[in-house]
């Protein structure tokens, strides 16, 4: 009985639970990745539209009124808008990957690589948050021109980190899949063993009843 419980309830069930958890984490990771990619495409289209609006507004003669054309109104300057979007996208990438790592720990090398990228991302994010962003509508001054150049650099760095995180995510996803396959093989091994032990226990119980074999406690 103890051997049956150990094989079935400890070895087999733990391997199956981990396999199911990794399978669920993989599905969630892939779905969130697809949603992030779709949002990235939508943001890119929206950004191009905003830039076109900005160019149209700048091409209008001085004194032109656009109150009757609300679709020409825009929010942020193109570079600042792209920076805000890449920040949001990378936050989503990092959060999605952290969820997968929490359930299916990757290899030490991949985990170390992800930790390095996370440190670079967090440092860059704090630098960006600490810096000012120039909304459109304000007059262009020497100061605002100086601000736009670092934002372009920040955008390039954030885009590179985002791309690297995606590549590391693919490697960590492979690690999770490999771990799931190992656990599934263990489940396939322990399942028939547990059935054999259960059948053996049933045979021993029946034989003891037929031949009147009882333990000392029962005999007393």
Q: What is the pLDDT of residue 154?
A: 84
Q: Which residues of 88-118 are buried (b: 16+ CB within 10 A; e: fewer)?
A: ebbebbbebbeebbebbebeeebeebbeebb
Distant-in-sequence, close-in-space partners of 94: CB < 8 Å, separation ≥ 6:
118, 121, 165
**Residue 100 near residue 26, CB atoms below 8 Å:** yes
CA distance 131 to 126: 9
pLDDT tens figures, 107-128: 899 989 999 999 988 888 888 7
pLDDT, tens digit, 9 for 90 and up, residues 155-176:
888 888 888 988 898 899 898 8
- Nearest-angstrom CA–CA distance, 168 and 100: 12
Per-residue pLDDT tens over the stretch 34-66: 888 887 777 777 767 766 766 766 676 765 555
Handedness of CA 44, 46, 52, 53 (dihedral sign): negative
């Amino acid at each position: 009985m103890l051997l049956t419980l150990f094989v079935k309830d400890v070895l087999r069930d733990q391997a199956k639970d981990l396999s199911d958890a990794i399978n669920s984490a993989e599905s969630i990771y892939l779905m969130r990745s697809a949603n992030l990619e779709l949002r990235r495409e939508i943001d890119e289209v929206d950004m191009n539209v905003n830039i076109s609006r900005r160019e149209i507004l700048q091409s209008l003669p001085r004194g032109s009124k656009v109150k009757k054309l609300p679709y020409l109104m825009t929010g942020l300057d193109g570079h600042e808008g792209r920076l805000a979007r890449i920040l949001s996208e990378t936050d989503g990438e990092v959060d999605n990957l952290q969820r997968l790592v929490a359930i299916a720990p990757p290899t030490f090398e991949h985990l170390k690589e992800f930790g390095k990228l996370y440190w670079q991302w967090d440092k860059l994010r704090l630098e960006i948050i600490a810096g000012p962003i120039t909304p459109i509508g304000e007059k262009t001054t020497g100061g605002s021109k100086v601000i736009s150049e670092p934002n372009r650099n920040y955008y390039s760095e954030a885009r590179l980190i985002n791309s690297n995180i995606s590549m590391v995510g693919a490697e960590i996803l492979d690690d999770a899949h490999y771990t799931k396959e190992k656990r599934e093989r263990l489940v396939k091994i322990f399942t028939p063993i547990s059935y054999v032990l259960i059948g053996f226990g049933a045979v021993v119980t029946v034989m003891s009843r037929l031949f009147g074999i009882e333990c000392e406690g029962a005999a007393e």
